[in-house]
Amino acid sequence: MTDPFKDLSQAEKKLIQKAHFPKWYAPMLATLTNKRFSDPAWIYECKFDGERAITHVHNKAIKILSRNQQDLNSTYPDLVKAFQGIKSKSFIVDGEIVAFENNVTSFSRLQKRLGVKEISLKEALQTPVYYYLFDILYLDGFDLRQLPLKSRKTLLNKALSYKDPLRPTEGIMREGEEYYRNACKQGWEGLIAKRLDSSYQPRRSSDWLKFKCHKSQEFIIIGYTPPKGSRKGFGALLVGYYKNDQLCYAGKVGTGFTDDLLLALKEKMDKYVISHLSLTEKIRESSSVTWVKPVLVGEFDFTEWTKAGKLRHPRFKGLRTDKKATEVIREEPQ
């Protein structure tokens, strides 16, 4: 096999470190910002509305892992099969698993696959997913994380051959503001701006920035109200987030549900019903609320935060299984 590192400069070769194949590299996370800019030192990529996944391939063993190290092999057997066709024998890649609705990535559609513990390859292909790869962290005995992003992307393209459902993440340089406007017009969630000379850092970093077209983030489900009229399951979700280890109330969410989802979500919540919950403020309608142990995490869209610190026009998008409730905070742009 051709040496994938032969075109690296001497300075870059000094940055790659010989290393045993690791059990885990923590993912690099992007920082939310309200700034929009164009800069040739940055690359701008689609912000996918999906599930982050880091894949380990070593001596024919394939592990697809969520960002909190959950094994996703049985959820995505179609992706496991795709990696079996890759010639490189030892690598770790980072990317996002998505499903599409009308040519736009849809977290709601991905719900049909998210959290499914066991699914056959035939069943998986009925709800097709695609894995967009945007980074490589390890290759053929070397830790690549100190290399600049531009060099890692070159190695990513050398190490992998792309065939659906594996896809490269396309990006553009320079025209960040125009690309952002076009992304929002097309219904994308937004862009991720990445500094081309940045290393891969195991934390949230300002070298990767989120340009969101609309506001969305994870919240913890902390309770629900009873249904009214012909509505099934429950009326609205109560959601919250942590601040300084205290649970804060973010508001009620009553839209984004089908009848089947209302019933399925209530059945899931009822496994965690508790008699009371300690919050930083009193909830006016608390007497009618069924409280839920703060373990379930959902993804929500909303238009803005009110002055009182509540969500305006929130909408439920789906449950997340790849983030712990204790990690959910209010995202503030920097």
189 near 105, Cβ under 8 Å?
yes
φ, ψ (nearest 5 deg) of residue 260:
-65, -40
Rg (CA), the chain: 21
Task: Out of 6, 18, 47, 228, pick the active-site residue.
Answer: 47
| Residue 47 annotated to the active site | yes
* CA-to-CA separations, 258 to 255, 265, 268, in angstroms, rounded: 9, 10, 15
Tokens of 21: 């194949």
Give the separation between CA 83 and CA 153, rounded to whole angstroms: 18
Give the separation between CA 79 and CA 73, rounded to whole angstroms: 8
Bridge partners of 71, per DSSP, are 65
Kindly write down the DSSP assignment for every residue of 70-84, as one continuous string. Answer: -B-TTT-HHHHHHHT
209 near 296, Cβ under 8 Å?
no
Give the residue numbers marked as catalytic: 47
